[in-house]
């Protein structure tokens, strides 16, 4: 078996067997689905009671993608832990003894993290959409509506890239604390707040998460631009992370 394939197998085993990494990945499922269903249910009662608090641009199609926006927190933690579990424990040395080509080790690790994220993101994104529509009941939309399949695909791409972005940031920091302290608030609120303030709105749309959100916006005309911006962020983070691993000494 080729050395790269062997390394891929080993990285899969690590993801599956290191408990914290595995738990972060699993947490994505209930978090996304629960929020998706609650979102649909609360929107339904708001529509039924003509509640003015229902946000202006509400569409059932877009609401179907709200769950994974919360679920992505778990995937960001996953991306960070995949790398920080190595540096934090000293396992990185064992990994480098087993796969001493640092480029190969980093590429394989990133690839496996991306593959695992996508494999979980695909069913959860679809199921989350369906859960929201089911909870909306009579107000629900179809999964075949215009722009929806594309947005669902975009969502899987977005989640995968965000997880990789987190991996790259963690590899650059060689730890978990700082990346999590920056990434989680950014995704939760930070960059969204910037979009509300007029002066920083222009800037905020180039943040990785804000740009990437265009990928999962139903009917967005800027999906490709958003994808390109998030891809650039991810590539830059991975490059920095790789450089830091390349230069790691110990």
Partner 1 sequence: MIDVYDLTKRYGQNTVVDGLSFTVRPGAVTGFLGPNGAGKSTTMRMMLGLTHPDSGSARIAGRPYHELRHPVRQVGALLETAVAHRGLTAANHLRWIAESNGIPRGRVAQVLDLVGLSGAARQRLGTFSLGMGQRLGLAAALLGDPAVLVLDEPVNGLDAEGIRWLRELLRHQAAEGRTVLVSSHLMTEMSLVADHLIVVHRGRLLADTSTADFIRRHARSYVRVRTPEAVMLARELDRRGATSTMAPDGSLEVGGMPAAEINRLAAAAGLTLDELSTQTGSLEDTFLGLVGDRSDARV
Instruction: Pick the binder of partner 1 from 49, 51, 59, 89 (CB under 8 A).
Output: 89
Nearest distance, CB of residue 182 and partner 1, angstroms: 24
Nearest distance, CB of residue 241 and partner 1, angstroms: 18
Nearest distance, CB of residue 244 and partner 1, angstroms: 14
Instruction: Pick the binder of partner 1 from 85, 117, 160, 214 (CB under 8 A).
Output: 85
Residue 99 touching partner 1 (CB under 8 A): yes
Residue 7 touching partner 1 (CB under 8 A): yes
Residue 18 touching partner 1 (CB under 8 A): yes
What is the end-to-end Cα distance of the chain in Å, rounded? 29
Residue 175 touching partner 1 (CB under 8 A): no
Angle at the Cα of 124 (from 172 to 176), degrees rounded to 5? 20
Query: Nearest-CA neighbor of 217 among 41, 30, 57, 54?
Result: 57
CB 10: neighbour CB atoms within 10 A? 16
Whole-number Å distance between alpha carbons of 130 and 128: 5
Instruction: Pick the binder of partner 1 from 93, 119, 189, 224 (CB under 8 A).
Output: 93
Whole-number Å distance between alpha carbons of 95 and 248: 13
**68-103 burial: b if 16+ Cβ within 10 Å, else e:** bbbbbbbbbbbbbbbbbbbbeeeebeebbeebeeee
Residue 26 touching partner 1 (CB under 8 A): no
Residue 13 touching partner 1 (CB under 8 A): yes
Q: Between 176 and 231, name the residue whose CB sits nearer to partner 1.
A: 176
- Residue 126's Cβ-count burial label (10 Å; 0-12, 13-18, 19+) is middle
Nearest distance, CB of residue 242 and partner 1, angstroms: 15
Residue 114 touching partner 1 (CB under 8 A): no
Local structure of 218: helix, strand or coil: coil
CB 192: neighbour CB atoms within 10 A? 15
Q: Between 10 and 240, name the residue whose CB sits nearer to partner 1.
A: 10
Q: How many residues belong to the site for partner 1 (CB under 8 A)? A: 30
Q: Between 100 and 144, name the residue whose CB sits nearer to partner 1.
A: 100
Binding footprint of partner 1 on the chain (CB under 8 A) = 1, 3, 6-7, 9-11, 13-14, 17-20, 85-86, 89-91, 93-102, 249-250
């Amino acid at each position: 078996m080729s050395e790269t394939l062997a390394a891929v197998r080993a990285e899969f085993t690590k993801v599956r067997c290191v408990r914290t990494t595995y738990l972060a990945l699993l947490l994505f499922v209930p978090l996304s689905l629960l929020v998706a269903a609650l979102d649909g249910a609360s929107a339904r009662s708001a529509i039924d009671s003509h509640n003015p608090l229902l946000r202006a641009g509400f569409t059932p199609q877009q609401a179907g993608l709200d769950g994974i926006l919360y679920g992505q927190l778990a995937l960001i933690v996953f991306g960070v832990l995949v790398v920080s579990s190595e540096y934090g424990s000293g396992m990185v040395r064992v990994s480098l003894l087993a796969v001493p080509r640092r480029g190969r080790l980093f590429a394989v690790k990133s690839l496996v993290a991306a593959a695992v994220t996508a494999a979980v993101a695909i069913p959860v994104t679809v199921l989350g959409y369906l859960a929201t529509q089911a909870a909306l009941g009579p107000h629900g939309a179809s999964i075949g509506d215009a722009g929806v399949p594309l947005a669902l695909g975009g969502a899987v791409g977005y989640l995968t890239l965000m997880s990789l972005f987190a991996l790259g940031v963690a590899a650059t920091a060689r730890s978990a604390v700082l990346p999590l302290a920056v990434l989680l608030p950014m995704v939760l609120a930070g960059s969204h707040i910037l979009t509300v303030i007029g002066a920083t709105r222009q800037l905020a749309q180039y943040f990785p998460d804000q740009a990437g959100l265009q990928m999962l916006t139903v009917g967005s005309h800027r999906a490709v631009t958003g994808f390109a911006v998030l891809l650039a962020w991810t590539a830059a983070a991975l490059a920095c992370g790789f450089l830091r691993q390349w230069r790691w000494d110990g």
